[in-house]
């Protein structure tokens, strides 16, 4: 018979085995590696862009010039394009992603959920250049022939908002790029929302249904408050994908270094400008430094977005 383990024979709780020490060291090194890698990227971008920051000063952030011949560079145009396309993409993607997640978790029959979930995961796995080619050969002609002419004819003369729909219907532009970005980020946001919606304890929803709540009231009052942090995290994940997207945007945004306040006007983003101009830049040149400075600015924008999301998710103080 096996001897029962007593307090005298059991190993002390405070004593760790060599395996525990090795595991703790490994996971600690993994965490420090991530911080070190992040710090190294920041330092490389900051040092590489220092020449541009010194040459143009704070005016680099607000200048709309990008003239390699005169060696004059500014970041205002790509910053504007990056922020506008990302915000528009989220405005289109979040409601659709929420609808998909809501349908899959609350309304769809069980036999139908797996095919739709698999389709969402497949959309997330499509390379960005494929999205760009699809956008250029399919979406751009549709925008040029049907969508943009309709909005130009019916909305461009309206007061206050008419300027948003002014311009020529070329098909490429800010709105087309935002539409492609929305399609690209929908799978990430929808998959995150679906997964966190499924973590809500069934007893919570059953209790709400027992009190006579409708399906929408259950989602609004039970599911969303319970999963608020994860839902916002999924949206921020989609925003991060939109901010840094390169090839898909390059195909459809028009790649023009000027600020256009029309949704149909061409533009640029930080990622697309770097992708286009980087092969032509020489080592140590002011142009290369300006591109690295743009990369640093994109990192700062992403950090600000993350900080704002953390601020919105902070615990509310009880009074």
pLDDT per residue over 224-263, tens digit each?
A: 888 888 888 888 888 888 888 888 999 999 888 888 888 9
Which one of 22-26, 63-67, 92-96 scores highest in mean pLDDT?
Answer: 92-96
In angstroms, the CA 100 to CA 187 distance is 9
Each residue of 158-174: pLDDT tens digit?
Answer: 888 888 888 888 888 99
Dihedral class, residue 162 (left if φ above 0, else alpha if ψ from -120 to 50, else beta):
alpha
pTM: 0.85
Confidence check: pLDDT of 3 > 80: no
- pLDDT of 316 reads 45
Binned at pLDDT 50, 70 and 90, residue 78 comes out as very high
pLDDT tens-digit readout, 178-201: 999 999 999 989 988 888 888 888
* Domains of the chain, earliest start first: 53-312 (1.10.3720.10)
Q: pLDDT value at position 294?
A: 92
Express each pLDDT in 276-291 by its tens digit.
888 777 777 888 999 9
Neighbour-count burial for 12-23, b at 16+ CB within 10 Å, e otherwise: eeeeeeeeeeee
DSSP code, position 267: B
Question: Is the CB of residue 239 less than 8 Å from the CB of residue 248?
Answer: no
φ, ψ dihedrals at 72, nearest 5°:
-120, 125
């Amino acid at each position: 018979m096996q001897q029962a383990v007593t307090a005298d024979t059991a190993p002390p709780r405070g004593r760790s085995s060599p395996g525990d020490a090795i595991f703790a060291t490994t996971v600690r090194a993994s965490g420090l590696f991530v911080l070190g890698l992040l710090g190294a990227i920041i330092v490389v971008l900051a040092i590489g862009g220092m020449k541009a920051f010194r040459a143009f000063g704070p005016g680099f952030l607000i200048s709309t010039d990008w003239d390699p011949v005169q060696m004059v560079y500014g970041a205002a145009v790509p910053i504007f394009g990056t922020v506008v396309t990302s915000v528009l993409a989220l405005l289109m993607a979040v409601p659709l992603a929420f609808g998909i997640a809501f349908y899959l978790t609350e309304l769809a029959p069980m036999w139908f959920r797996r095919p739709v979930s698999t389709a969402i995961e497949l959309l997330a796995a499509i390379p960005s250049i494929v999205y760009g080619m699809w956008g250029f050969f399919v979406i751009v002609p549709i925008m040029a022939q049907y969508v943009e002419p309709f909005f130009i004819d019916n909305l461009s003369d309206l007061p206050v908002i008419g300027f948003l729909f002014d311009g020529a219907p070329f098909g490429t532009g800010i709105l087309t790029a935002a539409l492609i970005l929305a399609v690209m980020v929908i799978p990430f946001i929808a998959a995150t929302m679906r997964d966190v919606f499924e973590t809500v304890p069934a007893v919570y929803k059953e209790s709400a249904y027992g009190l006579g709540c409708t399906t929408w009231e259950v989602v609004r009052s039970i599911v969303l408050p319970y999963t608020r942090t994860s839902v916002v995290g999924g949206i921020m994940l989609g925003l991060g994908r939109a901010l840094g997207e390169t090839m898909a945007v390059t195909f459809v945004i028009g790649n023009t270094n000027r600020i256009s306040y029309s949704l149909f006007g061409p533009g640029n983003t930080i990622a697309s400008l770097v992708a286009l101009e980087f092969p032509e830049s020489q080592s140590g040149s002011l142009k290369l430094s300006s591109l690295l400075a743009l990369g640093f600015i994109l990192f700062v924008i992403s950090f600000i977005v993350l900080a704002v999301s953390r601020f919105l998710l902070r615990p509310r103080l009880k009074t």
